[in-house]
Amino acid sequence: MAAYDDLLDRYRRISNIGNAAGLLNWDQQVMMPDGGTPARSQQLAALSTTRHELLVSDETADLLDAAEAAGLEPAEQAVVREIRREYERETDVPSDLVDELTRTQSDAQETWQDAKAESDFESFAPTLRDLRDLHRDRAGYIDDAKSPYAVLFEDGEPYLPLSRVEQVFEELKAELPDLIEAIRESESEVAWPFEGSYDEDAQLALCRDALDFLGYDWDRGRLDTAPHPFMSGNQFDARITTRFKEGEPLDALTAAVHEFGHATYQLGLRDDAYATPLGEPRSSGVHESQSRFWENHVGRTRAFWEAFLPKFTDRFPQHADATVEDLYQAVNKVRPDNRIRVEADEITYHLHIILRCEIDRAFVEGDLAADEIPATWNEKMDQYLGVRPRNDAEGCLQDIHWSYGFAGFQNYTVGSVLAAQLEAAMEEDIGDLDAHIRRGEFEPMHEWLTENVHEHGCRYTTDELIEEATGEPLTAEYYLDHVREKFGELYDL
């Protein structure tokens, strides 16, 4: 047990260095002056290199060996398993590569933001190529027997096989296009009541109203704005961001509710396990299931708008006559002509993900050159959604993700699929969710998710956690049932 305790102490140091880097990254996207990038890149590189060297040191290896030889409880065995996995993935990666990759990622955020503002992919392409090459080099050090793309996918989703995720994608591709086409041909009109401009202060106030309503812990969080909405933090400090669109007040709201879902995961992790694998989230896909649950299975329901409509009309008195049905239809309107992923409805959203994954993989594997990305993106958007971006900013530059890395877009779809599966299991245990939402009773949902997902941290592998929570492996069945029923009723299919 002494070896286990020493290993845990060492990992806490490693984890806290990473958490400090996360806070610097939050600051870079939210608060840092525009000219701060050169210093920030050095700061983040110093932290990531120090963390890497502590993780892959001989002392860490010795402590892992000693801990594995001890008689440990199952939860302790899971801790050692997680640290061992991270150690083995990183042990052959050179520190100078970690340093260079971190600096390039930090610089890339500013390059991406400037390129998007100018709608100029060409100015971002050299940085994107450099990032791709650095990530490929790192993947080769981790496991040169696998494709670089598969290795990078395992960064965010360590235990769910890429082949299983691809199977889920095939199931969605087999059904969603026909559903979207039926909606296009439907004679049912779904309301879109917004016109003119909406004050940003009022939009921000509405977001805060929603977070109050859902039960956000302001003592452990805050709401800010960022070029691309995100959440950052831990169980003591989970911060969220949103952004505003002048003519569509629901975009900021749904983004805030989405990021609230991410924050609930962080805040639901065990306080006493902070900076250990038992106090860290399981995976990107599981994390996304929490945000998609709160955004789609709570914030886009009639029950939510039955309770929340007065707040909306209070903030936007020009809609004083709006009905629950007006807002419910607006927040669920299927718009295949929408070019922006984070503004997409529950169905067309996944076609945005599919086109990204296809481009992402082709680029990483060397089958697509950087300068071919804009045209390929536009062609695939036309193929899948019947619309073309008018410029790079609303096309291949719209997401910040490539300034960090690759092979992560799949987890948005994994999250949506898992969210529907979790909803079905939750209803079996606590009853009709709409009734809870209508009454503003969110504590039973928070408690169920904490008990079945959050408080386990990384104790279970992804498949094990899903089976613990829902009683069965990951399946697209519940998501497909959900969208068939919901949008079939909306569009009278």
Give the number of other CB atoms < 10 A from CB of residue 215. 15
Residue 147, helix vs strand vs coil: coil
Instruction: State mean pLDDT over 154-159.
Output: 95
Contact 101, 405 (CB under 8 A): no
Among candidate residues 110, 154, 157, 259, the one labeled active-site is 259
According to DSSP, residue 275 is labeled: T
Q: Where are the domains of the chain?
A: 2-145, 162-490
Residue showing tokens 């096989």? 161
Residue 187 pLDDT > 80:
no
Cα separation values, 418 from 3, 292, 488, Å: 37, 9, 21
Determine phi and psi for 491, rounding to 5 degrees: -105, 10
Alpha helical stretches, state H, 410-475: 410-430, 433-438, 443-452, 462-470
pLDDT at 478: 98
Per-residue confidence at 48, pLDDT binned at 50, 70, 90?
very high
Contact 392, 398 (CB under 8 A): no
Give the number of other CB atoms < 10 A from CB of residue 24. 14
pLDDT at 54: 98
How far apart (Å, rounded) are the C-alpha atoms in residues 123 and 137?
23
pLDDT at 189: 79
Q: Is 318 left (phi over 0), alpha (psi -120 to 50) or beta?
A: alpha
Strand order from edge to edge, sheet including 237-242: 223-225, 237-242, 231-234
pLDDT at 445: 98
How far apart (Å, rounded) are the C-alpha atoms in residues 355 and 132?
18
Residue 26 pLDDT > 80:
yes
What confidence tens digit (pLDDT) does each residue in 99-135 have?
A: 999 999 999 999 999 999 999 999 999 999 999 999 9
What confidence tens digit (pLDDT) does each residue in 371-384 have?
A: 999 999 999 999 99
> What average pLDDT does the structure give for the chain?
96
pLDDT at 218: 98
Partners of residue 225 on adjacent β-strands: 242
Question: Percent of the chain scored above 70 by pLDDT?
Answer: 100
How far apart (Å, rounded) are the C-alpha atoms in residues 216 and 212?
6
CA of residue 389 relative to chain centroid, distance: 23
DSSP class per residue in 281-297: ---HHHHHHHHHIIIII
Per-residue confidence at 193, pLDDT binned at 50, 70, 90?
confident
Per-residue confidence at 188, pLDDT binned at 50, 70, 90?
confident
CB-side exposure of 412: number of CA atoms within 13 Å? 22
Instruction: State mean pLDDT over 412-435.
Output: 97
What confidence tens digit (pLDDT) does each residue in 296-322 have?
A: 999 999 999 999 999 999 999 999 999
Q: Which amino acid is at 293?
A: F
Per-residue confidence at 326, pLDDT binned at 50, 70, 90?
very high
Q: Is 195 left (phi over 0), alpha (psi -120 to 50) or beta?
A: beta
DSSP class per residue in 344-367: --TTTHHHHHHHHHHHHHHHHTTS
Question: Percent of the chain scored above 90 by pLDDT?
Answer: 95
Contacts of 411 (CB under 8 A, 6+ apart): 156, 157, 283, 284, 285, 287, 288
CA end-to-end span of the chain: 62
What confidence tens digit (pLDDT) does each residue in 266-281 have?
A: 999 999 999 999 999 9
Q: By CB neighbour count within 10 A (0-12 exposed, 13-18 middle, 19+ buried), where does 383 fall?
A: exposed
Residue 400 pLDDT > 90:
yes
Prediction pTM value: 0.96
Instruction: State mean pLDDT over 72-99.
Output: 98
How far apart (Å, rounded) are the C-alpha atoms in residues 417 and 474?
8
Residue showing tokens 């981790």? 142
Instruction: State mean pLDDT over 332-353.
Output: 93
What confidence tens digit (pLDDT) does each residue in 90-101 have?
A: 999 999 999 999
Alpha helical stretches, state H, 143-239: 148-156, 162-185, 200-214
Residue showing tokens 């939210």? 30
Residue 340 sits at the vertex; the CA angle it makes with 338 and 343, to the nearest 5 degrees, is 85
Cα separation values, 18 from 47, 232, 261, 337, 379, Å: 7, 12, 22, 40, 39
Residue 191 pLDDT > 80:
no
3-state class percentages of the chain: helix first, strand second, coil last, to nearest 5: 70, 5, 25
Contact 461, 416 (CB under 8 A): no
How far apart (Å, rounded) are the C-alpha atoms in residues 7 and 5?
5
How far apart (Å, rounded) are the C-alpha atoms in residues 1 and 8?
10
pLDDT at 192: 82
CATH architecture group of domain 162-490: Orthogonal Bundle (1.10)
259 a catalytic residue: yes
